[in-house]
A and B are shown apart, each in its own frame.
Chain A
């Protein structure tokens, strides 16, 4: 089957890169920088998981980067106001969920194409943030970094949380009935409706969950440095979508596994250090991400049968509401 072949080839590609790095740039694997690398990637992994679910449901969300930025800054501000860490976490998640619910309202409630809705909200949040903060960083209080733990402990905590989210979502989408509704909705909206699943409710919930995950990722991101950069999350959506697409999730929805997405994520994450160690400038990263998206989708397009799209070609990015 196509998906399995894809996941195998991604695994192989990842192994090759890791192997090459081991040979040509063994310093990559030194414990301290390696741990830092993993911890830095952890928030993106969380967001990528959310993005995967949304794409499986045949939608898209390009506002996640802005959501992360807003939640980061707000969480930072709350920290400086000496809120306890636990409350900051909850507040960030709640804020993210609220932002997500706005997306959900327009996409699921009003049946607007998700690409345009999330384009609009992406810019709205980003500009609102820039307006309020004018690019100013938020200086976090002294003990806030690494949750007050040592750097190593903090990093490990962050990595574990991210992996827990990944594992949790992977299990939920496999073993919880509601998780399977996501696949059903993405595979065939009409059949889902006929089967008694409520696709609009599923879609709405996914956008809310996505927002909540952005909030969580924001907190994990904040814990890694003494300051909050309001430009955090720039380009995150593209990296997430690339990882998802590479990881075997079809843009037409209904198929793909979070474990495959994890491998795809690792692959995309290794691109950056691979560039560094190959002495290629980091500025190639965005171009490579774009090229990878195109190649991944090209592989899908040339390989398997296309799901029939109805009116217009936007159909793969929006809920098919009329056939």
Chain B
């Protein structure tokens, strides 16, 4: 092949993708700073970070899932369910607040495990399973709260987690950075991440290489569940209240961030820095639009269109790459 670069061609493409995305985020930033008055301030930047924590966490949770070629539509609903269960544990079951938080993470794990069981053990398509749990989790949240119950009056020490500061940064930052670092490491530096990619590229090939495919697939959904639980806790801390509609619509933003960041919807290719940049792109867009005094809804609309455009672009890029590959390869499938 022509190139003399030391890096495999898919990696090269991704690198380019992330650089491009980074440039886009920077351009966005300057654009909105020029338009909106209060946009470019440090305080606003912290606001952006604060408001994008939950979606950022969900996007991080989705990255390994999409890497394996699956999908999880239930993460937003799970956030809602975990939020109200968290509230219930604290208010009605009188758990100490931090214990309630830990148990909430465990609930997230169990719910993720439910997805995992349907998908990896029974071998059902992730699409329909998570569509079902999307409805089930949200429905349970609504049912438990009778649609109206809201949990408030959380202790100040807890609310500081969502509204306060830590070394000058928003208090969510450490938790978010910790999760981001953990997922980053898992995807890019561990055997686990390598297996996820292999499964995304070739599920049967991975099996024949000795990778325990079912276990690895199950792991991504359980991890997503735990992260959704964490996101629920942070959401509650930020808003000071937990309602059944928490996290509604978050899955679109999360999926868009992941696809924008260069992770292929078909699996195998993906990067966590890309996802983070994707979250940044969407967060800056949302926030910038508010400062440009555009209505909230525009952000949602643009995100939807952004998803379509980035998907189309990535599929076209893949087709072009395949076209070149088939022109260079001269191998018959079989001949006798």
Interfacial residues, chain A to chain B (CB-CB below 8 A): 60, 62, 106, 110-113, 115-117, 119-124, 126-128, 130-131, 238, 241-242, 245, 251-252, 281, 283-291, 293-294, 297-298, 300-302, 306, 309, 311-317
Does chain A have a CB within 8 A of B312?
Answer: yes
| Residues of chain A with a CB closer than 8 A to B138's CB | 286-287, 290
| Residues of chain B with a CB closer than 8 A to A130's CB | 297
Given A112-B311, A298-B124, A312-B200, CB of A120 within 8 Å of CB of B252 = yes
Q: Which of B134, B145, B203, B305 contacts A120 (CB 8 A)?
A: B305
Q: Smallest Cβ distance from B243 to chain A, in angstroms?
A: 13
Does chain A have a CB within 8 A of B176?
Answer: no
Q: Which of B124, B126, B201, B249 contacts A314 (CB 8 A)?
A: B126
Contact indicator A115/B118 (Cβ below 8 Å): no
Nearest-neighbor residue (CB-CB) of B251 within chain A: A119
With A119-B252, A238-B135 already in contact, 4 other A-B pairs whose C-beta atoms are closer than 8 Å: A124-B300, A288-B139, A290-B134, A290-B139
| Cα distance, A126 to B249, chains bound together (Å) | 11
| Residues of chain B with a CB closer than 8 A to A106's CB | 308, 311-312
Does chain A have a CB within 8 A of B99?
Answer: no
| Residues of chain B with a CB closer than 8 A to A298's CB | 118, 122, 124
| Residues of chain A with a CB closer than 8 A to B263's CB | none
Does chain A have a CB within 8 A of B307?
Answer: yes
Does chain A have a CB within 8 A of B293?
Answer: no
| Residues of chain A with a CB closer than 8 A to B252's CB | 119-120, 123
Contact indicator B69/A110 (Cβ below 8 Å): no
| Cα distance, A83 to B168, chains bound together (Å) | 60
Contact indicator B127/A115 (Cβ below 8 Å): yes
| Cα distance, A302 to B267, chains bound together (Å) | 26
Contact indicator A313/B70 (Cβ below 8 Å): yes
Q: Smallest Cβ distance from A4 to chain B, in angstroms?
A: 21
Does chain A have a CB within 8 A of B25?
Answer: no
Interfacial residues, chain B to chain A (CB-CB below 8 A): 68-71, 73, 118-119, 122-129, 131-140, 142-143, 145-147, 200-203, 249, 251-252, 255-256, 259, 265-267, 295, 297-301, 303-305, 307-308, 311-312, 315-316
User: Can you spell out 28 A-B residue pairs with CB atoms less than 8 angstroms apart?
Assistant: A60-B127, A106-B311, A119-B251, A119-B252, A120-B252, A120-B304, A127-B298, A127-B301, A131-B301, A284-B142, A284-B143, A286-B135, A286-B136, A287-B135, A287-B138, A287-B139, A290-B133, A291-B139, A293-B135, A294-B118, A297-B132, A298-B124, A311-B69, A311-B202, A311-B203, A312-B68, A314-B69, A317-B71
| Cα distance, A108 to B143, chains bound together (Å) | 39
Given A110-B315, A119-B255, CB of A293 within 8 Å of CB of B131 = yes
Contact indicator A120/B146 (Cβ below 8 Å): no
Contact indicator A312/B139 (Cβ below 8 Å): no
Q: Smallest Cβ distance from A16 to chain B, in angstroms?
A: 23
Contact indicator B128/A293 (Cβ below 8 Å): yes
Q: Smallest Cβ distance from B40 to chain A, in angstroms?
A: 26
Q: Smallest Cβ distance from A114 to chain B, in angstroms?
A: 9
| Cα distance, A130 to B304, chains bound together (Å) | 14
Contact indicator B265/A314 (Cβ below 8 Å): yes
| Residues of chain A with a CB closer than 8 A to B259's CB | 116
Q: Smallest Cβ distance from A289 to chain B, in angstroms?
A: 5
Given A124-B301, A287-B140, A290-B134, CB of A312 within 8 Å of CB of B315 = no
Contact indicator B139/A317 (Cβ below 8 Å): no
Contact indicator A289/B135 (Cβ below 8 Å): yes
Contact indicator A312/B266 (Cβ below 8 Å): yes
| Cα distance, A238 to B74, chains bound together (Å) | 13
Contact indicator A111/B133 (Cβ below 8 Å): no
| Cα distance, A301 to B68, chains bound together (Å) | 21
Q: Which of B118, B200, B265 contacts A113 (CB 8 A)?
A: B265
| Cα distance, A317 to B122, chains bound together (Å) | 17
| Residues of chain B with a CB closer than 8 A to A131's CB | 295, 297-298, 301
